[in-house]
Amino acid sequence: MNSIDDLISGYRRFRAGVYAEQASLYRQLGHGQSPNIMLIACADSRAEPSDIFDAAPGQLFVMRNVANLVPPYQPNGGLHGVSSGLEYAVNILEVEHIVVMGHGGCGGIVASLASEGNPAIGEFVTPWVSLLDEARDKVVASGSVNPHFALELEGIEVSLKNLMTFPFVARRVEQGTLNLHGAWFAIMHGELHWRNATTGRFEVISTT
């Protein structure tokens, strides 16, 4: 899509195709939603959660931002987009699963690696990806041959750790009514890697 005309044309195709086929579902969803899964993903245009998981409207509560980050719990009266979405998903929708999904070639990770000693990356991007500073320093110090990939995975760990700083998340996890998961999507190969909760390793999901 290169123009607004392309966007409008896409809407017309949606109305004639997908919407026409699922009109009854959309009418039902007009009365409310009850997704069981919250998916925290990157805003990158190449990693669309609904496409990757073949999800229908109403099945995923999706929160997208630069580098699929979750900040730590900070009840300081500020404007907290991710935290408000998380609160709504957990306390109102009562989702049973939260998945943090990173992806290959993430621009937010590029910004984190480039921001080391360079605060001029962006007025808003630099402070946002500073959530990864500790993980970035760990990756750089490790001498990783592929620090970008290593930080993409470490970034998922950061978000999972930060999720547990929210009292309402930690409480439900401890009660066994909420489960946290990590995933990473390889755009070039279309492969999904799922975090093994026991080992912490990311394992390729079989396609059969």
Give catalytic residue positions: 42, 44, 46, 103, 106
How far, in Å, CA of 109 to CA of 144, rounded? 15
The residue behind tokens 């409008």 is 8
Confirm whether residue 103 is marked as ligand binding.
yes
How far, in Å, CA of 135 to CA of 148, rounded? 11
∠ CA(180), CA(184), CA(187), 5° rounding? 150
How far, in Å, CA of 184 to CA of 99, rounded? 10
Confirm whether residue 106 is marked as ligand binding.
yes
Rounded (10°) angle between helices 107-114 and 147-163: 100
CB atoms within 10 A of CB 17: 10
Confirm whether residue 42 is marked as ligand binding.
yes
Q: Which residues of 112-146 are buried (b: 16+ CB within 10 A; e: fewer)?
A: bbebeeeeebeeebbebbebbeebbeebeeeeeee
Helix (H) or strand (E) holding 156: helix 147-163
How far, in Å, CA of 15 to CA of 46, rounded? 23
Check: CB of residue 185 under 8 Å from CB of residue 193.
yes
Q: Which residues are annotated as a binding site for Zn(2+)?
A: 42, 44, 103, 106
Q: Which residues are annotated as a binding site?
A: 42, 44, 103, 106
